[in-house]
Amino acid sequence: MNTILTASLRAAAFAAALLLAPAIASANDTAAQQHAISGIVPVKAAGPYVQVGSYRIWVSSHLGKPSAVTSDGLWLYHGFFADETEDSGTLVVRFADGRVSQLTLVSSAVETAMLTVPVNVKGATQIASK
């Protein structure tokens, strides 16, 4: 039970961080400060060809095979350098209906948290018996 609770809290913290990324980006801080504080910075484009709305096959052909894929289908590219943020980290590509819905640059700590969230935590329930 303790393992499920810990994993659930970790997953909830990661989800909250991703949901807060657009709000953090709208603040007056520079992108480098955002990355240092939260570990997450929204990215407008990954190179000249990959941006929100790009097809999955287009991402694959221009960025190559992802370094890792999370259990919920996020593609991770290690060692990505974003021109607009002048920072580096792991590029996270989120897809919806076969197209890019979000591009985010994350720190190594956030990436580690993403990769350690166990699969099937959402639907876990505990049944007590006598």
Domain-located, residue 80:
yes
Domain-located, residue 34:
yes
| Domains of the chain: total | 1
Host domain of residue 90: 2-116
Tens of pLDDT along the chain (130 residues) come to 555 555 555 655 565 555 555 555 554 455 555 545 557 888 888 888 899 999 999 999 999 999 999 888 999 999 888 766 567 889 999 999 999 999 999 988 888 887 776 655 555 544 554 4
How far, in Å, are 20, 89, 122, 129 from residue 104 at the CA level? 12, 10, 23, 44
pLDDT at position 65 is: 94
pLDDT at position 11 is: 59
Domain-located, residue 127:
no
Domain-located, residue 36:
yes
pLDDT at position 123 is: 52
Domain-located, residue 126:
no
Domain-located, residue 121:
no
pLDDT at position 113 is: 81
Domain-located, residue 95:
yes
Domain-located, residue 123:
no
